[in-house]
Amino acid sequence: MCIIQTSLLNMEKFKNRRVLITGGASGIGKIMGRLALQKGAELIIWDIDKQKMDDVKVEFSNLGKVYTFHVDISDIEQIKTSSQRVLNEIGIVDILINNAGIIIGKYFSEHSSDDIRRTMEINANAAMYITQEFLPEMIKQNSGHICNIASSAGLISNPKMSVYAATKWAVIGWSDSLRIEMKQQKHNIKITTVTPYYINTGMFDGIRSRVPILKPEKAARKIIRGIERNKIFVSMPWSVHLVRFMQGLFPVWLFDWFVGGVMGIYDTMTHFVGRGK
């Protein structure tokens, strides 16, 4: 009976909750926003693309309350100002999904210092800064959930995405450390770290992969379900779970041969185009 009741409570996790999603105007961020609204949540979207946010607000208007904030999350002052606006005008954020990200797909030697700075600030630093703004209120009410969208690139080194991989390695280490801290400090704040393979949203246009590329709707649904179930890690496809095991078991040359040669992972970015400007 207790297990059934807990399961039902988890399935209602989004009902009457405020959900903030960064990068929520497109891709899986937009899909997760729609799913949250359908589950009875209020949706707060942060995005740099104002037109897309306005379009999404109209599109989702019949699903529930939608608030939009034009924020460049590479700018810490905008993060602080927008966070205070959310807290003052809307209220405490119950579920925070750090989803926004960018990729500059080229060899490290071709990166500019600005490429590195902006990628690190958006993909890694921003998630920490944003969480800093909303975590104190979650701790005060002793409830909340933070979901950090990392990547399987945070587990596997890959040519032409070295800086992107660095940001995702950072997110995984920080996110799971935060989970343990919340547990040690006895705060009822759940942390979910997401490590998906390539998702077909346009962000990785041009990649060629022997492993099937994930469908956005399915990926978004799995993430939302993971939040509902308080999952620590949400990895997709299932084979991503084996990466750490293989890295520990295989010598590096054998891991490189299997992942790079047999599975072709190290060549996936060869024809990368991306979403463009």
The identity of residue 142, as a single letter, is N
Query: What CA dihedral angle connects 231, 234, 238 and 242, to 10 degrees?
Result: -90
d(CA 107, CA 205): 17
Q: Which residues pair with 199 in a beta bridge?
A: 214
* Pairing assessment for the beta strands 18-22 and 95-98 based on DSSP bridges: parallel
d(CA 63, CA 35): 10
Burial 175-188 (b: 16+ CB within 10 A, else e): bbebbeebeeeebe
**The two structure tokens encoding residue 155:** 């587990």
Active site residues: 164
**204 φψ region: left (φ > 0), alpha (ψ -120 to 50), beta (else):** alpha
DSSP state of 18: E
| 124-to-37, 185, 207, 250, 264 alpha-carbon distances in Å | 27, 24, 23, 29, 27
**The two structure tokens encoding residue 147:** 């979901």
d(CA 55, CA 50): 9
